[in-house]
């Protein structure tokens, strides 16, 4: 399945998300995106830049025993008065991420699971 | 006739360069003395918005700490055209973005002086600019719905460990399970020093597993890092985003 098709399917199945982008973390740029309604280039690159900041924040964290260091930092949820965003990547492709803008008022956990699952599927080439 | 003659004499200005210098002085930054704003950020914002509300003619409101300019507000017809912060690029002047910049100015440490300067030209095209009522609404919305205090009231009831701080140079206070101390110290170190986008609180949730999450949150120079149950933590953030009462 192509990335754009995977994004269309994920967007349709995840009512809590209205914008998905596929980001290159080394350049901080969105490579492709899919959203309900219009989504400007600035908004996509802002999402990608926040993903880069977020993953840099968690790098090298000394974790207590029992925490899966390989999985830690695979998924981040940024939030502020303007809403919430999810950034997810697979350990198999740490230089790429899926970023998502959440629909205000919707539960976060289903969106987090959907975005993380999408990132893992893309990294595994499904 | 006598009144007209008196008026003419009163307008008689020194000739040549002295007249130009005097006019430049009256039109320039030396025309008004700065006055100090209150120390409380909320009171500072109230004072600034009142000044905007009382400004009909084109003016620039200059804000300084000591001799350092920390912001400049272009105002005319009780509307704001722009809030300029040194070192930051301009952005579209929406009520929210203008409120965010004003909140950053109001949160600056030290005594802030406000000086009203005459503007050389009208900074606003007809029909543009943010009305002061919209600006106040944006400030009130972010202050009440997006506050760190309201978020922490939710979070700090079921945390396994927490790290809190109340200033950039103040040591953070840790409590809870000691095994989490190194992780929370590490995560908060970078989070505390990154630029705050304000107004209102902002944060990052980092799921540890299907059971737990680390939540980092801050507003200006205050903040916390806490380990919480995953579902509880994300539900708390969701409720906070929706503006629900604690």
Residues 6+ away with beta carbon under 8 Å from B243: B145
CA angle, residues A117, A123, A126, in degrees to nearest 5: 75
B163-174: per-residue pLDDT in tens? 999 876 678 899
pLDDT tops 60 at residue B21: no
B232: pLDDT confidence band, cut at 50, 70 and 90? very high
What whole-number distance in Å separates Cα of residue B102 and Cα of residue B138? Answer: 11
Query: What is this model's ipTM?
Result: 0.94
> Which pLDDT score, from 0 to 100, does residue A1 have?
65
What whole-number distance in Å separates Cα of residue B200 and Cα of residue B145? Answer: 8
What whole-number distance in Å separates Cα of residue B72 and Cα of residue B120? Answer: 14
> Which pLDDT score, from 0 to 100, does residue A27 have?
93
The parts of chain A modelled with pLDDT lower than 70 are: 1, 37-39, 126
B153: pLDDT confidence band, cut at 50, 70 and 90? confident
Give the neighbor-by-neighbor strand order of the sheet with B130-131. Answer: B35-36, B113-118, B59-65, B68-76, B79-84, B130-131
Q: Is residue B141 within 8 angstroms of chain A, CB to CB?
A: yes
**CA distances from residue B178 to A114, B99, B185, B214 in whole angstroms, order as listed:** 33, 40, 11, 15
From B200, B192, B197, B198, select the one nearest B225 (Cα to Cα): B192
Minimum Cα–Cα distance from B208: chain A residue:
A72
pTM exceeding the 0.90 threshold for the entire prediction? no
CB B96 within 8 A of CB B139: no
- The minimum CA-CA distance between A117 and chain B, rounded to whole Å, is 13
> Which pLDDT score, from 0 to 100, does residue B8 have?
37
B6: pLDDT confidence band, cut at 50, 70 and 90? very low
Contact B204 A56 (CB under 8 A): no
What whole-number distance in Å separates Cα of residue B184 and Cα of residue B193? Answer: 14
pLDDT tops 80 at residue B34: no
CB B31 within 8 A of CB B59: no
Contact B203 A73 (CB under 8 A): no
Long-range contacts at A52-55 (CB < 8 A, ≥ 24 apart)? A52/A23, A52/A25, A52/A28, A53/B194, A54/A78, A54/A87, A54/B204, A55/A25, A55/A87, A55/A89, A55/A97
From B33, B101, B46, select the one nearest B73 (Cα to Cα): B101
B198: pLDDT confidence band, cut at 50, 70 and 90? low
A76: which chain B residues are within 8 Å (Cβ-Cβ)? 204-206
B68 burial via Cβ count (<10 Å: 0-12, 13-18, 19+): exposed
Name every residue in A having a CB less than 8 A away from some CB of B.
Answer: 53-54, 56-58, 60-65, 67-68, 71-84, 104-109, 112
Q: Is residue B199 within 8 angstroms of chain A, CB to CB?
A: yes
**Residue to substitute from B138, B143, B207, B224, interface A, most A β-carbons within 10 A:** B207
CB pairs under 8 A between A and B: 91
> Which pLDDT score, from 0 to 100, does residue B196 have?
67
> Which pLDDT score, from 0 to 100, does residue B28 have?
43
B10: pLDDT confidence band, cut at 50, 70 and 90? very low
What 3-state DSSP class applies to B2?
Answer: helix
């Amino acid at each position: 399945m192509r990335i754009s098709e995977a994004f269309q399917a994920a967007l349709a199945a995840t009512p809590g998300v209205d914008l998905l982008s596929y980001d290159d973390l080394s350049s901080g740029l969105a490579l492709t995106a899919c959203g309900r309604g219009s989504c400007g280039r600035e908004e996509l690159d802002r999402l990608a830049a926040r993903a880069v900041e977020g993953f840099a924040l968690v790098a090298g964290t000394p974790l207590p025993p029992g925490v899966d260091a390989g999985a830690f930092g695979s998924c981040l949820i940024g939030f502020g008065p303007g809403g919430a965003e999810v950034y997810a990547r697979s350990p198999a492709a740490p230089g790429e991420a899926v970023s998502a803008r959440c629909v205000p008022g919707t539960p976060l956990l289903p969106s987090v699971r959907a975005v993380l699952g999408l990132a893992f599927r893309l990294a595994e080439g499904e | 006739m006598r009144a007209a003659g008196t008026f003419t004499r009163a307008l008689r200005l020194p000739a040549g360069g002295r007249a130009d210098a005097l006019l430049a002085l009256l039109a320039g930054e030396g025309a008004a003395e700065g006055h100090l704003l209150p120390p409380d950020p909320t009171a500072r914002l109230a004072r600034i918005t009142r000044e905007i509300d009382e400004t009909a003619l084109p003016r620039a409101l200059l804000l300084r700490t000591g001799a350092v300019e920390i912001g400049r507000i272009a105002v005319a017809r009780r509307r704001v055209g722009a809030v300029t912060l040194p070192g930051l690029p301009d952005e579209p002047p929406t009520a929210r973005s203008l409120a965010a910049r004003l909140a950053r100015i109001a949160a600056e440490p030290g005594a802030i002086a406000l000086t009203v300067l005459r503007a050389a030209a009208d900074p606003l095209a007809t029909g543009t600019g943010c009305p002061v009522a919209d600006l106040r609404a944006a400030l009130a919305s972010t202050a009440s719905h997006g506050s760190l205090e309201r978020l922490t009231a939710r979070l700090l009831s079921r945390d396994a460990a927490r790290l809190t701080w109340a200033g950039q140079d103040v040591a953070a206070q840790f409590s809870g399970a000691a095994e989490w101390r190194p992780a929370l110290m590490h995560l908060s170190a970078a989070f505390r020093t990154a630029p705050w986008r304000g107004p209102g609180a902002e944060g990052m949730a980092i799921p540890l597993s299907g059971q737990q999450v680390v939540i980092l949150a801050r507003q200006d120079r205050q903040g916390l890092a806490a380990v919480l149950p995953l579902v509880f933590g994300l539900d708390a953030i969701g409720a906070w985003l929706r503006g629900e009462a604690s």
